[in-house]
Amino acid sequence: DTEVTQTPKHLVMGMTNKKSLKCEQHMGHRAMYWYKQKAKKPPELMFVYSYEKLSINESVPSRFSPECPNSSLLNLHLHALQPEDSALYLCASSRKGGLSDEQFFGPGTRLTVL
């Protein structure tokens, strides 16, 4: 299985809602990533988990809260988002997170904040 899956595909939420994005991989990868991508822009790194520990938090607002329950799963909890947080949220994984690692991306969750 060489796939990264993400649910849901689309999500519409109000600014007072709490929701979660889910990502799963069964490739035995030990590094997992959350990216945010706005239209016509490259992906922006948000968080990196390495061996289930948070390694990088790119100064992301606290209304985004990542969680890595086990080596296959990655969640992104959303609370009190702003309309400018509307974007494509991409999950990725790589073997160990080294400099020469290829990253495998999921199809993304298209998030709209009203």
Partner 1 sequence: SQQGEEDPQALSIQEGENATMNCSYKTSINNLQWYRQNSGRGLVHLILIRSNEREKHSGRLRVTLDTSKKSSSLLITASRAADTASYFCATDRDSNYQLIWGAGTKLIIKP
Contacts with partner 1 by CB under 8 A lie at 4, 6, 31, 33, 40-43, 45, 48, 50, 55-56, 88, 90, 92, 94, 97-100, 102-108, 110
Q: Do residues 44 and 84 make contact, with C-beta atoms less than 8 angstroms apart? A: no
Both tokens of 1, joined, read 């299985």
User: Whose Cβ is closer to partner 1: residue 33's or residue 64's?
Assistant: 33
User: Which distant-in-sequence residues (6+ apart) come within 8 Å of 15 by Cβ?
Assistant: 80, 81, 82, 83, 113, 114
User: Whose Cβ is closer to partner 1: residue 18's or residue 112's?
Assistant: 112
Report how far residue 37's alpha carbon sits from residue 88's, in angstroms, rounded to the nearest whole number.
5
User: Whose Cβ is closer to partner 1: residue 84's or residue 102's?
Assistant: 102
User: Whose Cβ is closer to partner 1: residue 75's or residue 80's?
Assistant: 75
Closest separation in Å from C-beta 107 to partner 1: 5
Closest separation in Å from C-beta 105 to partner 1: 4
Q: Do residues 1 and 26 make contact, with C-beta atoms less than 8 angstroms apart? A: yes
